[in-house]
Structure 1
Amino acid sequence: MTLSLKQLTLYFSLLSIGSATGWLGHHYVTAKKLTIDPDVIPVVKERTQASTPTFADGLASSTNYNFIAKAVKKVGPSVVRIDASKKLTTQVPEALNNPLLKRFFGENLPVPEEKIKRGTGSGIIISSDGRLITNAHVVDGADTVKVTLKDGREFDGMVKAVDSLTDIAVIKIEATDLPEVPIGNSEELIPGQWAIAIGNPLGLDNTVTVGIISAIDRTSSQVGVADKRVRFIQTDAAINPGNSGGPLLNAQGEVIGINTAIRANAQGLGFAIPIETAKRVADELFLHGKAEHPFLGISMVDLTPEVKNEINRQLQIRINHNQGVVIKRVIENSPAEKAGLRQGDVINKVGGVTVTSPTEVQQEVEKSLVGESLAVEVIRNRRIAEFLVKPDTFPQSIDN
């Protein structure tokens, strides 16, 4: 087939344009030093990010590594599993020890049975030489305690001391160079902040749950454990049996509380002991083998118009305030009675600090020292009076 001069010219022109385009493309790619991975699907980006995105708490995140994962990685090695066991012996009724019964039944008489009660909890390492904090109810009365680190190492633990009033216990293991937990600050918590719990709930090791701080300064009475002296942190992060003694973290991966599954029916709610309380009690337990809690010997209620009318009627006194903290009862022979405090006194200040609720009164008393004078300012018969009370050690039991 004979091609015309016009057709040949067109073909050569197209060939030249194609060659030039390939040559320019090759040099463009080379100049930009681009590489092509056949296993990667290229993605066209509309705009290049100037910096790595961060959360409000300042922690960098990526698709698979968010601030929760970063906090867990930071603290996880310092969280331990605690397995406690206690021997329980079934006692034979005294009547069955009668010689006549033994002769009649022979070897068919029941014999004492020994059972082992086992429980699992969590704990945190607070010093590299093997000092641990957990809940008192996790190890109280235990015969043996086994501590397992996240890396799989196991140690025999020794329960050094237990404080039932705060539900704090301390354990010592023989080890060195252990990772310590970073301690945070619970006194500046605000409801709505992130809360991360780590522990071994229901025997499931290294479990992480997350939620928010639901409330702060929950009293023992509000939580339903009136025998404790703790202002609890409330969270909606799942805390179940086995979480007890483990840490509650903030978004920065710092310990702000010690989780406690102290209330079994608290569905959707968990509670934690503020880390300042836990650390202070733990230090006392390691140093002295016990923790001293100042005790005044009074019971208090918020002063409302209804309470005011009831006290005025029962005690035949005259309270004029409608708000504040009123002493409802003074225990006999208590430091408060010895100092001169009475029923119906409206507490105004404790240790020079103005108080407006029983929780605030208890908070200031807890800061005082056993045996040292504590100034308590009250309003009595429309007059201000100050009494110096010397707190005693909180008694094991209080007569009602």
Structure 2
Amino acid sequence: MSEQPITDKKDKSSFSNFISGFAGGLVAVLLVGGIFWSLSEADTNSAEQQDEPVMKQTEGSSIPTTNITYEETNSVNAAVEQVSDAVVGVSNISHLNLWEDSETQGTGSGVIYKKEDSFAYVVTNNHVVEGAQAVEVILSNGEHVEADILGTDALTDLAVLRIPGDKVETVATLGSSDDLNVGDTAVAIGNPLGTEFAGSVTKGIISGLDRAVDVDTNGDRMPDWTTNVIQTDAAINPGNSGGALINAKGELIGINSMKIALTQVEGIGFAIPIDEAKPVMDQLETSGEVVRPYMGISGVDLSSVPARHARDTLMLDESVEEGIVLAQVQPRSPSDEAGLQRYDVITKIDDTGVSSMLELKSYLYRHKQIGDEVTITFYREGKLQTTKMALTEQENI
């Protein structure tokens, strides 16, 4: 019997230490947290040192101008008038007891999107109502109405509130974000800097579609999810969160959510597309939460694994360049039942290639439901294999 080289044991031990550091950090279903932006200090400093671009006018030249026609202005006025009363303030009250006055943690915006039976329903951002002991909705006429939080979802940064229907006369018309084009008119309505500037309107265009924004769901400043957003240059400021982004017809096409707040950046704001928000709003309204399919794994990108470990420990051929190395398989999870093990390298889910946990979760959450069966393609000790699993809902532990 030949003696196994000691170096193999060292490789496995060091690789185990490498991958264990990631275990539990990227579990596919622990969804708590919010949206974050990061910019390195070096990037910030270098950007601040750059000179601002200057437009020079030579003698005899003319500066291009944009003529805004009466028809265009009138169209925007009509669009705003159609929806403005459906845009409300949302006050987060975080301190309530018998002995002291209540304290307002912050104020954002919301949109009344539905009126049914004796209730009206308001969509806003999760971060607007997060941590609230009570929530008030401030109607366009200034009246304060107590609201019930029906449900929140940190992953999409959405929340649904309910107020008495007899207080509401105007409901926003839902449009379609799938029909948008870059350059289309975009109008943001909300309460920048609080109720003092309630109902503020800013106009711009759709600057970009399908922009990717990272979401940190566990506070470790590592992205656990990537959400698609609409980019607009219509001014969005603190307090606009949860307000309406509408098109030239006055239809709701997005929920204003965030902006890049850096001194060297101007006119880059983001809204959650209404077509992605609709199914989330429906679930929050009816069940109070968004239930997503669960696999029960954590893992790291194969691209982050040192080449010698990929070769000697995972036994992968050099042709395998992308995949997810499993760091942990939860006991009694769908992945465990399907026979997946630590150090397996997933390269496909159904016919879709995956190179990161973000891509895997994106496919699951956007295309699959609880009870669906998926096919997993993976490598184990260098051999290509497949297995099937039925997706389930994560059990509360």
The aligned residue for residue 206 of structure 1 is 199
Counterpart selection for 2:214 from 216, 220, 224:
220
The aligned residue for residue 373 of structure 1 is 373
Where do 5+ consecutive residues of structure 2 fail to align?
1-66
Mapped to 1, the partners of 2:130 and 2:233 lie a distance apart of: 27
Q: Which structure has more RCO (C-alpha within 8 Å, separation ≥ 6)?
A: 2
Mapped to 1, the partners of 2:396 and 2:176 lie a distance apart of: 30
1:64/1:194 CA distance change after superposition, 3 Å: closer
User: Does 1:166 pair with 2:156?
Assistant: yes
1:63/1:316 CA distance change after superposition, 3 Å: closer
The aligned residue for residue 132 of structure 2 is 142
- Show the 5 A alignment for 1:358-397: 359-366=358-365, 367-378=367-378, 381=382, 383-393=384-394
1:87/1:264 CA distance change after superposition, 3 Å: farther
User: Does 1:231 pair with 2:238?
Assistant: no
**How many residues get paired?**
314
Residue type matched to 1:183 in 2? L
Report the Cα offset of residue 353 of structure 1.
4.9
Mapped to 2, the partners of 1:222 and 1:118 lie a distance apart of: 22
Report the Cα offset of residue 81 of structure 1.
1.4
Mapped to 2, the partners of 1:207 and 1:310 lie a distance apart of: 58
Mapped to 2, the partners of 1:192 and 1:358 lie a distance apart of: 33
The aligned residue for residue 329 of structure 1 is 327
SS at match of 1:142: coil
User: Contact conserved, 1:374 with 1:391, CA < 8 A, in 2?
Assistant: no
User: Does 1:197 pair with 2:195?
Assistant: no
Mapped to 2, the partners of 1:138 and 1:263 lie a distance apart of: 17
User: Does 1:180 pair with 2:171?
Assistant: yes
Report the Cα offset of residue 279 of structure 1.
2.0
Report the Cα offset of residue 240 of structure 1.
1.9
Report the Cα offset of residue 135 of structure 1.
1.1
- Show the 5 A alignment for 1:299-314: 299=298, 309=307, 312-313=310-311
Residue type matched to 1:318 in 2? L
Mapped to 2, the partners of 1:320 and 1:251 lie a distance apart of: 53
Mapped to 1, the partners of 2:113 and 2:391 lie a distance apart of: 33
- Show the 5 A alignment for 1:348-367: 348-350=348-350, 352-353=351-352, 359-366=358-365, 367=367
The aligned residue for residue 290 of structure 2 is 291
SS at match of 1:201: coil
- Which 10-residue stretch deviates more, 157-166 or 246-255? 246-255
User: Contact conserved, 1:370 with 1:393, CA < 8 A, in 2?
Assistant: no
Where do 5+ consecutive residues of structure 1 fail to align?
1-54, 90-111
Report the Cα offset of residue 248 of structure 1.
2.2
Q: Tell me the percent identity.
A: 33
SS at match of 2:127: helix
User: Contact conserved, 1:125 with 1:131, CA < 8 A, in 2?
Assistant: yes
User: Contact conserved, 1:136 with 1:163, CA < 8 A, in 2?
Assistant: yes
The aligned residue for residue 243 of structure 1 is 240
SS at match of 1:272: strand
Mapped to 1, the partners of 2:82 and 2:312 lie a distance apart of: 58
User: Contact conserved, 1:317 with 1:344, CA < 8 A, in 2?
Assistant: no
The aligned residue for residue 87 of structure 1 is 95
Q: CA RMSD in A?
A: 3.8
1:237/1:153 CA distance change after superposition, 3 Å: same
Mapped to 2, the partners of 1:325 and 1:179 lie a distance apart of: 50
Q: Which has the larger radius of gyration?
A: 1
The aligned residue for residue 20 of structure 1 is none
User: How does the TM-score come out when normalised to structure 2?
Assistant: 0.65
Report the Cα offset of residue 394 of structure 1.
8.1
Mapped to 2, the partners of 1:395 and 1:315 lie a distance apart of: 34
